[in-house]
Amino acid sequence: MRAKIIGTGSYLPPKIVTNNDLAKTVETSDEWIRERTGIEERRVTDENTATSDLAVEAAKKALSAARLSPEEIDLIIVCTCTPDMLFPSTACILQDKLGIKNAAAFDLSAACSGFNFGLAVASGLIENGAYKNILLVGADTLTKYLDWTDRGTCILFGDGAGAVVLTATDKEEGVLRSYLKAEGLFGKYLVMPGGGSRDPEAKNGRQIRMAGKEVFKFAVRVLEASVEKILEIAKLTPADIDLLIPHQANIRIIDHVAKKMGLSKEKVYVNLQKYGNTSAASIPIALDEALKEGRIKSGDLIVLSGFGAGLTYGANIIQW
Ligand code: ACO
C-alpha cells in the first residue's frame, strides 16, 4: 500500500507587505532584501485571523480538488508551530470548522520542516492500513511572532497555508520514500522562548530569535544532505528528479543546492519572491502552485525537502 496525493489547495492572506514597506520602519532596503534573500513581498494576517482561518481555506480547496466529502476523511494532521492556542489542537479546531465527523485529529510541530515530517507520518499511517484518507495541512502565521524592529528576522517571514489530501493506493506511486532528521544540539539558533511551560507568561518574549548566519550554514548543509539521502534511499540520482520543491526560505540556499546537484532552473520550484518564508506552509503552497502552473505531470518524480527550527530537516520523494 502507498499514499498518493489526490488534491491540493493553498491560501494566502490578502494583505501584502513589500520590501519598501519594511524599509520605512527598519534600516534596510528593497535591494538588500532581494539580493540576500530573493524575497520581494510577503503576506501578513490581520489581528483577527489565526492559523486555523488560513488552514480552513486551503483545506476546502484540497478537499474539492480531491472530490472527497468531509465524511470520507479519517485523519487530520495540521503541521504548525503557530497554533491558534495551546489546546485544543489546530487540527481539532479545523475539524470542527470543516464539519469532519469521522476523523482523528492532531497537530505536528517541526516548524518549517513540519510538512515533510507530516507527509512522512501520514504516508506511513496509510501504508500500514491504519487510515485511508488523510487531510494534511501546513499552516503558519509567524508574522505574529516577529520583532518588527529586528531587520535580521522581520524581512524573512510571511503567513499562509497549504493542504493536501492523501489516499491509499495499491500501485507503486505516491510517496515512495521519506527521510527525517533532527539536530537538537543546534536548537538554540532559532528560538521562540516565551509562552511555553518554561515561561508561560512569556517574560522572555514571544518573538522569534535567530542566529541568521548559523541557520544559513546549517540550511545549506542539510538541504543538500537531505536531497542526497532521499535519492540514495530511493536508489535514484539527481538526473532522475523532475522537480525539486525546496523549503522557500532564501534563494541563496536553494541556488547553492541546485548548483551542487546539477539541477537546472526548470527543475527547481521557487515562489519565495511572493510570500517569503511561510514555515510549514511553504512546501504545500509551492506544490499547489507548481501543479496549477503545469510544472508537474503524471509519473514525474518530485522531491520535497526542507529544514527548520529544532533544528530539523527532511525530504520526501513522490512519484506523481
Ligand atoms: N537589511 C540591511 N542590512 C542587513 C539586514 C537587512 N534586513 N539584515 C542584516 N543586515 C546587515 C547586518 O547587520 C550585517 O551588517 P555588518 O556587516 O555591518 O555587521 C550585514 O548586513 C550582513 O549580515 P549577515 O547576517 O551576514 O547577512 P546574511 O547574508 O547572512 O543574511 C539572512 C542574513 C538573510 C538572515 C541569512 O543569514 C539567512 O537567510 N539565514 C537563514 C535564515 C532562515 O532560513 N531561517 C528560517 C529557518 S526555517 C524555520 O523553522 C523558521
pLDDT at residue 107 is higher than 90 = yes
- Phi, psi at 128, each rounded to 5°: -85, 5
Residues 8 and 151 in one domain: yes
CATH number, domain with residue 28:
3.40.47.10
Ligand 1 center to 231 CA (angstroms): 31
Residues 155 and 28 in one domain: yes
79 as an active site residue: the answer is no
Q: How many CA atoms lie within 13 A of 238 on its CB side?
A: 15
Q: What is the CB neighbour count within 10 angstroms for residue 70?
A: 17
Planar angle of CA 249, 251, 252, nearest 5 degrees: 110
Would you say the CB of residue 151 lies under 6 angstroms from ligand 1? yes
Ligand 1 center to 253 CA (angstroms): 12
Which residue segment(s) compose the domain that 160 sits in?
Answer: 2-171
> In this predicted model, what pLDDT tens digit does every residue of 148-167 receive, in sequence order?
999 999 999 999 999 999 99
> In this predicted model, what pLDDT tens digit does every residue of 202-255 receive, in sequence order?
998 899 999 999 999 999 999 999 999 999 999 999 999 999 999 999 999 999
Q: Which of 26, 34, 36 to mutate to test the pocket of ligand 1 (most atoms within 8 A of CB)?
A: 36
Residues 149 and 39 in one domain: yes
- 214-225 as b/e: b if 16+ CB within 10 A: ebbebbbbbbbb
**Are 7 and 62 in contact, with CB atoms under 8 Å apart?**
yes
311 confidence band (pLDDT: 50, 70, 90): very high
Residues 8 and 146 in one domain: yes
Nine-digit cell at 165? 489530501
Residues 36 and 124 in one domain: yes
pLDDT for position 250: 97
- Residue carrying C-alpha cell 520550484: 269
Residues 215 and 285 in one domain: yes
pLDDT at residue 116 is higher than 90 = yes
Residues 193 and 79 in one domain: no
How confident is the model over 251-260, as a mean pLDDT? 96
Domain end position, chosen among 142, 171, 200: 171
Would you say the CB of residue 39 lies under 6 angstroms from ligand 1? no
> In this predicted model, what pLDDT tens digit does every residue of 67-94 receive, in sequence order?
999 999 999 999 999 999 999 999 999 9
Nine-digit cell at 216? 544559513
Amino acid residing at 251: I
pLDDT for position 317: 98
**Are 248 and 304 in contact, with CB atoms under 8 Å apart?**
no
Please state, in angstroms and as integers, the Cα–Cα distance from residue 232 to each residue in 176, 226, 264, following that order: 12, 10, 20
Task: Give me the percent of the chain exceeding a pLDDT of 70.
Answer: 100
pLDDT for position 204: 86
Planar angle of CA 114, 117, 121, nearest 5 degrees: 130
Residues 20 and 156 in one domain: yes
Residues 120 and 85 in one domain: yes
Task: Give me the percent of the chain exceeding a pLDDT of 90.
Answer: 99
| Whether pTM exceeds 0.85 | yes
Three-state SS for 132? Answer: coil
Would you say the CB of residue 216 lies under 6 angstroms from ligand 1? yes
Domain end position, chosen among 171, 200, 229: 171
Residues 114 and 181 in one domain: no
Enclosing H/E stretch for 116: helix 114-127
81, 112, 154, 316: which one is catalytic?
Answer: 112
Give the residue from 248, 244, 273, 271 showing the smallest Cα distance to 259.
Answer: 244
247 as an active site residue: the answer is yes
Q: Is the dihedral of CA 186, 192, 197, 201 positive or negative?
A: positive
Average pLDDT, the chain: 97
Contacts of 293 (CB under 8 A, 6+ apart): none
Domain end position, chosen among 171, 205, 222: 171
Q: Which of 213, 226, 311 to mutate to test the pocket of ligand 1 (most atoms within 8 A of CB)?
A: 213
Residues 155 and 93 in one domain: yes
For the chain, the domain total comes to 2
Residues 153 and 204 in one domain: no
- Measured CA to CA, the distance from residue 316 to residue 3 in angstroms comes to 12
Please state, in angstroms and as integers, the Cα–Cα distance from residue 100 to each residue in 59, 104, 162, following that order: 11, 9, 18
